[in-house]
């Protein structure tokens, strides 16, 4: 199975794709690097051992690399959870980010290591915690999480989902160093408050910015929108890193 993982990653990186995924490659890398930096040294060593040769960066985007490929197609619908505007999440539903994370948490808690393997469990956990903090991964099914909404930003065309995945991150140069400085300046009690909230609250909080996500006119993304959205994206990425680190410590530390 480990050989299969590497094969599908290589194929995915060599194959052109028009799909968009939460945070894009840079965003996922930044979140994973920040989370890894916050782990205890012994937990870092265990995490690296379980990855067994897969880099921290590759681990963060593994689920995107295998998307649509056997034997992992069952994971394709687990990157997100939808609820239409004014509606609440159905936390009893299956085949979504919430359900899949709970399955992985239970498997790690009970040391169930087959189908998926422990390595795959950790890869899924890493990616999905990052995914759910992108507001459009907890958005509206009617527009496919913003994939059906086209906008223009800095003379380039994006769908709204891609704008939040990587457009604003790339064009405003959000960096690991900037976010790490923000994390370092936070009070310890603030970090713990973010980390200790239950999974349901992570999803609900990630949905709060949707009003801002859709707050533009005539399909044009202006500087005011960019400034507000950049602030939200940084906040969400920091929360993702803090919670990912805490979750890895809980199940692997």
- Per-residue pLDDT tens for 235-249? 999 999 999 999 999
Quote the number of domains for the chain.
Answer: 1
SS (H, E, C) the chain: CHHHHHHHHHHHHHCCCCCCCCCHHHHHHHHHHHHHHHCCHHHHHHHHHHHCCCCHHHHHCHHHHCCCCCCCHHHHHHHCCCCCCCCCCCCCCCCCHHHHHHHHHHHHHCCCCCCCCHHHHHHHHHHHHHHCCCHHHHCCHHHCCCCCCEEEECCEEEEHHHHHHHHHHHHCCCCHHHHHHHHHCCCHHHHHHHHHCCHHHHHHHHHCCHHHHCCCECCEECHHHHHHHHHHHHHHHHHHHHHHHHHHHHHHC
Q: What was the pLDDT predicted at 166?
A: 97
Residue 154's domain comprises: 2-16+24-252
Please give the share of the chain, as a percent, with pLDDT higher than 90.
89
Query: Which CATH number goes with the domain that contains 32?
Result: 1.10.575.10
Q: What was the pLDDT predicted at 16?
A: 34
**pTM listed for this prediction:** 0.92
């Amino acid at each position: 199975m480990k050989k299969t993982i590497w094969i599908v990653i290589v194929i995915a990186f060599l194959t052109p794709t028009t799909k968009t995924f939460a945070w894009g490659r840079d965003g996922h890398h930044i979140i994973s690097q920040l989370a890894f930096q916050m782990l205890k040294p012994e937990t870092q060593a265990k995490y690296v051992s379980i990855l067994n040769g897969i880099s921290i960066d590759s681990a963060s985007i593994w689920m995107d690399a295998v998307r649509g490929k056997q034997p992992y197609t069952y994971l394709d619908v687990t990157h997100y959870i939808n609820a239409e505007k004014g509606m609440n999440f159905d936390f009893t539903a299956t085949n979504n980010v919430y359900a899949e994370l709970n399955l992985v948490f239970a498997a790690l808690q009970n040391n169930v290591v087959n189908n998926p393997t422990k390595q795959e469990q950790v890869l899924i956990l890493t990616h999905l915690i990052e995914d759910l903090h992108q507001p459009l991964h907890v958005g509206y099914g009617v527009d496919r999480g913003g994939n059906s909404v086209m906008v223009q930003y800095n003379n380039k065309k994006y769908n709204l989902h891609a704008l939040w995945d990587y457009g604003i991150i790339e064009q405003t140069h959000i960096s690991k160093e900037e976010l790490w400085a923000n994390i370092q300046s936070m009070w310890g009690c603030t970090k713990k408050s973010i980390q200790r909230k239950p999974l349901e609250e992570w999803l609900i909080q990630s949905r709060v910015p949707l009003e801002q996500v859709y707050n533009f006119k005539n399909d044009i993304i202006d500087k005011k929108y960019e400034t507000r959205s950049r602030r939200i994206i940084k906040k969400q990425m920091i929360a993702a890193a803090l919670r990912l680190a805490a979750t890895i410590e809980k199940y692997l530390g």
